[in-house]
Structure 1
Amino acid sequence: MTAVTAETATVAASAQEPLERHRPRVAIGTDGSTWGDAALEWALRHAWLMNAGLRVYSAKTSDDNEIARRLDVYRWLHASVTTSEDTPEHTLLWASADTDLLVLGHHGHRTRQTLGLGHLVLPVVSAAECDTVVVRGEPRAVRGEHGWVTAAVGGQHDEIVVRRATEIATRYRDGLRLIHAWAPHGARSVESDEEPTDVLDRACDLVAQLMPTLTPSLQLVRSHPHEAVETCGRSDLLVLGPGGEPGNLSPITRTALYLAPCPVMVVHP
């Protein structure tokens, strides 16, 4: 790795602030494409709201002046820009081992795409060693203008999904929506003794423990889980788990990465 710019201007930490090693870390991969730039802007705003450090991994196709201009708007962030001679997939996965959140656009300059999803997205999200956000969706959602964070619950990673969504909604000062989809009658699904409403109640109880002043909106959707992605409009972020098998994303997660109307966060268990 070769650093091409040093840290931008930073604010002096007070004695009451936590040590630097406790600061959340965000990494963003950008190639200068439209969605690469959108991902960079999303990561900058998120790092600012979460009081996180930011490292930008820049491809050769990126415009260094444009990156510098965007960083200058957030000059108070602890931020750096790094280039790499490695492949984008290797660079991003390498970065994921040393960060808390990895951000990328849902496709870039290269034309090897499947149904509009860049060829790097599924391999990176599946193998990343941290949470990932894939920036996609309609412009208002990408800009964070709806004021809602949605957590999809009903899987084995509900606790971490709810924790992440609650923390982000609190920092963003957004509303929190908990959504659970259960299959219609006659659909092939795994049988469960748990009532669908119990899933939402358990998630709601966890929110109350984490942030008593935050009252989530509860939404029960009678559909296949992957179809519930279409109901997540007017949301700025959809948070969900990766699925039950390591390295193999669940159908609802894959569907969200392809079709969600907003950025998608896949938590790392």
Structure 2
Amino acid sequence: MKPTVVVGYDRTPPSERALIEAGREAAWRGASVTVVHAFHWMPVTAPMTYVPMSVQRSLTTAAEEAAADAVHTLNHRYPGMKVESAVVAGPAADALTEASRDADLLVLGNRGRGGFTGLLLGSVSTRALAFASCPTMIVRGTPRDLLDTIVLALDAEDPAEELLEFAFAEASHRDARLRVVNARDLDWGRAARAEQGDAQDAGKAEEAEEADRARAQVLTDVRGALGRLLSPWLTRHPRVRLSTEVADGTPGAVLTAATTHADLVIVGAHRHADGHPGMRLGPVTQTLLHHADCPVVVVPRA
């Protein structure tokens, strides 16, 4: 089946950015695009009252016009691309997750109409992530020209086939460099090193040196593990320009800093264990969703 990219659109600036990203992704993948616009009926304010049919028709017409504008934008940018629209009355997150159930990618802005300026991640995006069953991109960060670099947040001790497949395929689609980052907080011996300047005890210095040696060995071991893990993937995707980085530091901070020089950061999230659709977002993923300086793709994994 031809791949499909689903994008949420509501005429807000974040959704305009999401629409452009969805078009790029579809062009790189040779995919079609489905533009989803959800709207709510005007609420009834008192018992035994109703919303006039003319008002309902106006709301529906406005929603259809918004979706048509988005379709026109993509058709103008990408002649020949198949672009469809879906207008749904009801909660936006539910409409988006249902429309993207069999999609290759869901693309959302970081905020919608209900958000305020200081809001880092809107309620629709948050709920959609919690129930999405396909890779989901949240478009955020500083708008800029493409840097041809993708960051993959990868734990060498807990890799996922789905995450690696998506990252290497994405780098191939974009002809971009794939920068694999493994960050871990190795704080061994820091207290001893801090005390070393005040202590005359030679044992403290030896303890700090031993901790440094252990830290260096762990970093070397992780680099070797990453090399062995990524080698088969590089064989399958020989055109991908791969680089790896093992950093000593808080994962959220290290990865957020890496997004300053990236077009995209990719991170995994475990699927719900009870078989229900959606993902459980860990602390590193949450940090990136709120602070990354580029779009974030969350890939569901086992």
| TM-score, length of structure 2 as denominator length | 0.73
Deviates more, 1:54-63 or 1:258-267: 54-63
Q: Which protein has the larger Cα radius of gyration, Structure 1 or Structure 2? A: 2
Q: CA deviation at 1:115?
A: 4.0
State whether structure 2 residue 179 is matched by structure 1 residue 200: no
Supply the distance in 1 between the matched residues of 2:178 and 2:263 (Cα, whole angstroms): 10
* Match of residue 100, structure 1, among 92, 99, 104: 104
Matches within 5 A, 1:163-178: 163-178=165-180
* Match of residue 236, structure 1, among 244, 263, 276: 263
Q: CA deviation at 1:159?
A: 2.6
Matches within 5 A, 1:84-99: 84-99=88-103
User: Which residue number corresponds to residue 296 of structure 2?
Assistant: 264
User: Which residue number corresponds to residue 153 of structure 1?
Assistant: 154
Amino acid at match of 2:253: E
CA contact (8 A) 2:262 2:294 kept: yes
Amino acid at match of 1:156: D
Tell me: CA distance 1:153–1:202, structure 2 relative to 1, closer, same or farther (3 Å): farther
Deviates more, 1:40-49 or 1:245-254: 245-254
Any gaps of 5 or more consecutive residues in structure 2? 40-61, 191-217, 274-278
Supply the distance in 2 between the matched residues of 1:68 and 1:164 (Cα, whole angstroms): 26
1:181-216 Cα deviation digits (max 9, x unpaired) = 0112149xxxxx993224421343133232123230
* Match of residue 116, structure 1, among 114, 117, 120: 120
Aligned residues: 240
Supply the distance in 1 between the matched residues of 2:167 and 2:20 (Cα, whole angstroms): 20
Amino acid at match of 1:170: S
* Match of residue 244, structure 2, among 193, 211, 218: 218
Q: CA deviation at 1:163?
A: 1.5
User: Which residue number corresponds to residue 280 of structure 2?
Assistant: 248
Amino acid at match of 1:239: I
CA contact (8 A) 2:138 2:295 kept: yes
CA contact (8 A) 2:38 2:91 kept: no
Tell me: CA distance 1:138–1:263, structure 2 relative to 1, closer, same or farther (3 Å): same
Q: Which structure dedicates a bigger proportion of its chain to helix?
A: 2
Q: CA deviation at 1:100?
A: 1.6
Q: Secondary structure at 1:27's aligned position in 2?
A: strand
Q: Secondary structure at 1:204's aligned position in 2?
A: helix
Q: CA deviation at 1:75?
A: 2.6
Q: CA deviation at 1:149?
A: 1.1
Tell me: CA distance 1:213–1:126, structure 2 relative to 1, closer, same or farther (3 Å): same
Amino acid at match of 1:163: E
| TM-score, length of structure 1 as denominator length | 0.81
Q: What RMSD over aligned residues (CA atoms) do the two structures have, in Å?
A: 2.3
* Match of residue 43, structure 1, among 4, 19, 22: 22
Any gaps of 5 or more consecutive residues in structure 1? 1-20, 188-192
